[in-house]
Structure formats: structure tokens, C-alpha cells
Amino acid sequence: MLAFRYLAAALAPAFVAADVLSLSGLDWTLRNTNGSIVIPAKVPSQAHLDLLNAGIITEPLLGINGTGDFTQRWVVNENWTYTADLTPLTRNMSIDARALLVFYGIDTIANITVAGHLVAWVSNQFQQYVYDVTDFIVAPVNNDTNVTVALESAYYYGLNVTSRPDAEISPTGDFEYAGIRQYIRKTQSDFGWDWGPAFVPSGIFKPAYLVTLTPPRPHALQPDSDNAHEEPASHPLLASGRTVLIEETSLEISKVGQTTISTPNQTADWLVNVTLGVRSVVGSDFPTITVTTPELNLSSGPLPVAAIPVATNATTFLSAAFTIPDGVPERWFPHDLGTPKLYNFTVTLALTNSSESADASASFMTRSGFRTVQLVQTPYPADAAAGFGITPGDQWHFEVNGRAFYTLGTNIIPFDPFYARTTSEQVRWVLESAVKSGQNMLRVWGGGIYQPSDALTGGYDFYAACDELGIFAWSELIFSDALYPIDGWLLASVAPEVRQNVRRVNRHPSNAQWAGGNEIEGIVIGVNQSLANGTHYLDEFQTLFGEFLHDIVLEEESSVAYTDCSTTSGVLSLDPYEIRYDNKTAGFIYGNGERYNYDASQAFNYSTYPRSRFMNEFGFHSQPSFYSWEEVLTSPEDFSFNSTVVASRDHHPPAGSLAFPNPNAPQGQGQMTTAVELWLPTPNTTDSNQTFAQWCWSTQVFQSLNMVSEIAFYRRGAGEGENNLGALVWQLNDIWQGASWSAIEHSGRWKVLQYGMADILRPVVIYPFWTPDNATLEIVVTSDRWEPVQGSAALTWYDWSGNFIDSSTLPFTVPSLNNTVLLAIQELDNIIPTNHNAADVWLHLNLTAVVDNNRTVTHEQYFTPVSLATANLVDPQVSVTPGPNWTFTLSAKGGVAPFAWLDHPAGTVGFFADNTTGLPSNGFFLVPGIDRTVQFVSNPLLSTVSDPNPADFVVRSLWNNTHL
């Protein structure tokens, strides 16, 4: 290890002279098994998408197609073959060149052939593959010049594997294509989930390249002056020079002495570890890696690394490290706690066989940041727990740069059933929406896909955008809601999958941890307790998640924690790593938690909310908006809450088989129906389309009310015995147009919940906690700031006509990461204004506070003493006055409009912001005499309508549930 030095010394000249040729430019064809379908195709793509482009099928999400379970199942059952002539990329290859075929993702079971020669059989969607195909290209079979990827039906492959006499069948339930996904290293939700379809796609779904490497000629060993000052490549792949392919990279920044389980020393030097995986046509006895940070005017100097052999059929890994003093760089913080500062790093690999000059070199730029993030899982010290009133047990929270913070966020699922058509613009909009709503962490759900780092290799950008926007990503290995049988084949396939993805993600300061999978620990504990042979499954879980995956992750990184599962009871020990499982002391709190309660009568019963250190999942489902349904419904009769198509897209609870329509859908539909009927006016008008639209919207209003209540409760828990420091809502984005738990619809349209989170995730919030059992109202102010916060709260009573009744103002001080009870009153008669009926009045809560060096923040909430279903609402007579730049002033002329809501027209993507504060604002209580002006902030990259007509914006409120 060498300490840094300033950029006084000259660096070895770098070349960006790679022959990196995209396979996207080839003329591809797609063929089914018997040749009855032969159509043009693309790479990257998937069979459904090419069939759609060729007119063989309609949009998979359209109508009954969109169930993913019915009209297009024949596509799943087929074997599909992609073929292209490689000649355009190989015709100019020199005789001494080596040609490397690079696939960043194949979905999933496939034979790869080049020029008639079998290259490989692959079976893991999450691996990248590199093959030297030179010898095949120069000696084709029967003049075959093609590259061919012959994909086997993942469904039939799964049936074949599970039909083996030694196949272990999981004792747990499943979704649609049941019982096979555990044997296939493929996106688990491709086989169906309770919020999405089951298309089981296949294809070359990520970018692919042919990289040609040529040994230098004797006269070209010294770099020429024309190339001496070339800029470093923008990506390691593009830096793959004349002689070397940089196949993998890892850049990890941690503190000297830091491990995945230790508390980082915040004053220690920064340790920068760089690992390159290379294939080279030039050997090097004395290669070096040099890392520079131009903004800091720093260089590591040439760091010696292991010798590089001449090898294009295997990867050589090179590692180097150097230190930077703690005070030199600025630190990366999530956006709500500081600045997500990033630095450019230039990495130069010099292939040297003497001490005088480099025979060849490759240089690229990458971005990263300096931060520590720790998942604290150790027991609370007894004296500290007692002194602060904390319930005994283990801690479970994150710290950034040595300080505990409240984690606020949601869960991410795949952005589309077909990965290959996901764009960076779509993903960035979802991430920006998370930031706009105050979230600081997204959990990348373990049943989906390893999210990519960039578009060049991953098809779209995820982690780099998280780095830039300042939002943490909780990462997971792809295992979910099943018991995975252990065998040598699975372990041999999973090991490189995990290593490749952990190395790749290391450079991203947004990465917060690695979890082994999703929800499996609880499943295996239940199986162990309920089945006679349950210990067999527990032993397999321990082998895979408690040992195998744990060890691999810790071999590849040292800066973030590993946990065995998303929802976990925590650990008995971190060193050695021992999962707690069910070894608990009564009354203690361990690990983290989740809540799904579909009894809507209990939605606001706080005794049903877990008192957990951290809530990583909780949610309730809702329908998408009328606008989203218009994207996929094809007949007028479909526009009904329980129409065949609408109900068929409700996969909660899942069918557990290929039964169509989902026989269990009435349960999910019924849960949403009951929720609306209990808490909101039941939609019923003479206009069937309006009634359907109000039903869809009302399910979203209830979802938001429920989630806002839970978030407020968990945030309050930071100052309670549970010392809760995290709340991640299930879920942020949607995979299709159908019933789901999402806050953002498939098109990017914000649901009511997204605005509700933008409100309740503000730094300082006020909330009315009403407990019917003892008729107690507590008005609580909660802060997630690192310093005490002072402010005042105005409490104002109105009737539903908008008449002012009474008001009071209360000052408050909230300690760091804590709460203050402003008011606690028992008995409804003591709460509501004198001489008023509970159904006729409501309370407006409005807070103003000063945070973060004189920044003023506000927040408002509402308390209705009775359910809005029984409140005596008055016709609000809402009017909308358009202004310039898509501003709209909303006025109530007749009464209060609860959840006054603006919809933007079809074809537009954006959100509504308060015209004064710029903060997201929609779904508010509109009071006569207190107008609201909001502006529609459009996303021009996603909107197909660039200049919407203000007349096409629609206003609604709960009054419209029963009135036109």
C-alpha cells in the first residue's frame, strides 16, 4: 500500500484505442423452434419485444394480454433463437488479433455458437460472459459466419429439472409458474408475483460487444506523440486498449482498518482499493495501476500489481490500494443530510516489462465518493437502554459518516416486465421522484434484478444516478420468498454471479448494504417449526445465506454490511457470523420488521403496528388511475372496478398456478372495496366512467391515509422504546397497469401515496394520533434532524362549510431524532369544539420550524373525528383558474374539499408543486377563502404531449365520489 502523492510526476501515457464493437449494429433474426416464425430482431431485446415489433403479437400489457397469463403463454413455451452474421465486425480483423465476445446479460438458458462452433451453454441471467472466439471465427463450420444464441424455454427447463427424481420440491407456496423458479437463476418475479404479470421473457436482454485485441508491432511499442494526451475513456469497457480488455472493475473507498462489521474510525485515512479483471494479448512482468483524482490534485503514483500473463481465455485480477488523509476530500451524504459529493477518478493500467516505459496502457474515468455507512446490529448497552427508556435487545439502524440517521424510503421492483425496453430516463424519473418526496433510501428488492450501474453495459443507469441524486440503495442478492435447494450446480452458478455484481457495485457510495435475499428467513423459521423435516430446510438456508453468500460478499467488499435476509431477527454474533433465527428473549426487540394487514378496519389501529427498530416493508394495494387504465383497456365495458380485465390484473392473493382469471382476485378486490367503504364516501354516480375513476382514485386515497399513518407512527418511534430509525414503504414503482402497492404508476404518474409521502417525509412533521380504544388524541411533532428543532404549531378547527371555529398556537422544541407531544386529550367531547357534532368538524394542524442553519420548514396535517365515510361533507364548489406556465389556482366556494386533487392529462408526466415553496403538493384539504396555487412541473423527456391544454387538467375531491 502506498500513500497518495500530488500530481507532480508525469503519468504513463494512456490510449483509448479499443476495437469495441457493439452487436446492436448487426442484422439479427429471431426464429422459433419449427421455423414458422422468422422475423427481424434487435440486441438488446427479448422475444416478446421483437414479436411485438414484427406485428406477430400486440403490446403484451394490452387488455387480456396484460395478465401475462393467458393469450401470450405460447411465447413462454417456445424456444427462441437469435442469429446474426458477424462478418461486418470481423472482416477487417488482423491475422494476429483476438476476438472476445462479451455478453452483459443473457436471459437465461442458452447455447451460444459462433461460426458453427459451440462456445458455451449458459444458465444464469445475472452473470456477464466473455469468450475468446477467435479460433472459431477463423475456422468456420460450413462457411457459417454467424453468432447464434439459442434460448430454451425457461418454463420447460424448470419442468425438466424439477422432474428429476433427486429434485427437492419446496414446501412453500408460489405465484403462477409455480415450483420451478428456485432452480433457475433468473428474475424471480418473471414467473409471476402478487403485483405483476408472468411473461417469463427470454433474450439477449443487455448490451453485447465484440472486442478485438491486437499485440503491438515492434515499431509501435512506444506510444506515439499523437496519442500521448488523449483523454481517459468514459468507461472501463471503452478503455479496453489495443492489447487489453478490462472485463471487471471494482473501486471501493473505506476507512483504514474498516470491515463490514466494525465501526469505522471517522478520523482514519481513507483507503482506496482498485481491482481490475483483465484479459490481455501482451504479457507484463511489472504492470502498475495509477489512480488520480484531478479535482483534489492527487495521484497514487504507479502502484505495482501482479504480473499479467498473455491470456484471453481467462481473467487475471489485479489489485492495488493507497490512502488519502481524512480531511482532504469532502464527504458524500444523502441529499436530505448534506451534499452527495462525487469525484472523478482516473484509473490507468500500464503494462510494463522494464523499469523505463510502458509497452501499453489503458485509462478510464469513473466516479465515486467518500463516505462510511454502517448497519449497526449490536446489542444496546444496558445502561444506555435504561437511561433512555429503550426496550432491551439489539440495535438495527444505519449510520452515515459516523452518525445515526432516520432512513426514509421505499422498495424498488423491476421497472417493466421486459428489462430490455427500460430506459435511463424512465428510471431517473422514478429516482428523482423519490428524492422530491424526501426519501433517502431505496431497497432494491431481492426478487427482481441486480440494478445496473450504467447504460453502456446494463442498458440503463441506476446506481450512478443514485450516487448523483444522493439516495442510498439497499442492495440484495436475487433470492426471494422460496426455499432454495442446495447442490453443487447452484453454488457454482451463484458464486461468479455474486462476485461480479458486488465488485461492480463497490464504487457506488449510494450502496448501503447487501442482503442475502427477500423474506426467506421468516419462511424457513416457520417451516422448521411446522414440518417434521424442517431442520433440513433450515440447514440449507444456513449453508446458503449464513455461510456461502456471506463469505463471498465479505471476500469482495469491506465497506458495507451483509445481512442474511431483508426481514431478519438479526444476529447472535457478527464475528463469527451467527444468525439469531428464533433465539429471542421475550420482551426484547431484535432485527427489523414488516406489516401487511388487509383488514381495513385495523388500518389506523396503532396496536397492530409493529414496534420495531426498523420497518423495511409495509404497504396496502391500490388501483392505478383512470389514465393508466386507458393505456391498456380496449373495450368500454372494461372500465369497471370488477370487470374481467381489471380483476384479472389483481394478483393478490396469487393464483399459485396458471389458473385464469386469478381465482383469488376477489379477495384483493374486496380488500380495496372494504377499505374505501369504511373510510371514504362510497363512489356511486350516474356516470359509469366517473364512478370507475373515483373508485380507482379512492383506493389510492385510502392507501395514502394508511401509509402516512404508519410512517408517522414509525417516525415517532425514534423517541419511543423501540428507537425506530427506519421506514421503507412497499413499494415505489410499478411494473404494469394493475392493482399494486406502488406510489408511482407504470407511466411515471404519481399516485396519491407519492404526494402523501412527500408530505409526511418532511424533516419536521406534525401528526394527530387518535386511539379509539381509550378515546385519546395525541398531537405529536417529530423531527429527523441532527440538532434540536424549535417552532410553533397552529391548531385550527373548521366545520365542513369552511367556517372558522377556534384556533390555538403552541410552541415546541424537539430533541435530535426524537418527538414532542404537543397535546394529549381524552374523550371526544373534550376534543371537539363545544356545541359541535363530531361529523361536522375537522382540525387543521399547521407547523412552522427552523432547521439546518435558519432554513424554515412547514408541514400540515388533518384530523377528522369520524371517518370521512360518515362526515357531513358539503358541496365544495371547486373552481380552477389556469395561469401561465401550467399554474392552477384552486378555490372552494361552497365548502371544504377534502383531498382536492388535480390530474394532468394523458401523455404527460410530471408532478404538481406548490407555487410558493416548490414542494410537491396535491390531495390537500381546500378551504373556502384559502386558495391554493400549484404548478405542473413536466418531465419533457417522458411526456409525449409537450404542450398540454390547461382545459385538459381535471380536478376532483371526495365530493365527486357521489356527485357529478
Please answer whether residues 522 and 172 qualify as being in contact, where contact means their C-beta atoms are separated by less than 8 angstroms: no
Spatial neighbors of 165 by CB under 8 A, at least 6 apart, are none
Q: Measure the CA angle with vertex 795, ends 790 and 796; round to 5°.
A: 150
Q: Which of 695, 711, 698 is nearest to 861 (CA)?
A: 711
Please answer whether residues 199 and 124 qualify as being in contact, where contact means their C-beta atoms are separated by less than 8 angstroms: no
Q: Which of 703, 557, 682 is nearest to 622 (CA)?
A: 703
Pairing of strands 311-324, 2-3: parallel
Please answer whether residues 332 and 466 qualify as being in contact, where contact means their C-beta atoms are separated by less than 8 angstroms: no
Spatial neighbors of 480 by CB under 8 A, at least 6 apart, are 188, 189, 445, 446, 447, 517, 518, 519, 520
Pairing of strands 311-324, 270-280: antiparallel
**Alpha-carbon span 599 to 947, nearest angstrom:** 43
* Single-letter code of the amino acid located at 556: E
In the chain, how long is the greatest CA-to-CA distance? 99
Pairing of strands 98-103, 117-122: unpaired
DSSP string for 176-189: SSTT-GGGSBS-GG
Q: Which helix (H) or strand (E) is 412 found in, with range?
A: strand 407-412
Q: Classify burial at 635, counting beta carbons within 10 Å of its beta carbon; exposed 0-12, middle 13-18, buried 19 or more.
A: exposed
Print burial letters for 166-198: b (CB count within 10 Å at least 16), e (below 16): eebebebebbbbbbbbbbbbbbbbbbbbbbbbb
Q: What are phi and psi of 47, to 5 degrees?
A: -55, -45
Q: Which of 455, 276, 282, 453 is nearest to 363 (CA)?
A: 276
Q: Kindly list the distances between the CA atom of residue 814 and the CA atoms of 614, 764, 776, 863, in Å, as whole numbers in the listed order.
A: 21, 9, 22, 21
Please answer whether residues 654 and 666 qualify as being in contact, where contact means their C-beta atoms are separated by less than 8 angstroms: no
**Alpha-carbon span 653 to 663, nearest angstrom:** 9
End-to-end CA distance of the chain, in Å? 73
Q: Which of 846, 854, 843 is nearest to 809 (CA)?
A: 846
C-alpha cell at 80: 427462441
**Alpha-carbon span 183 to 161, nearest angstrom:** 7
Q: Measure the CA angle with vertex 43, ends 42 and 46; round to 5°.
A: 80
Which residue numbers are catalytic? 519
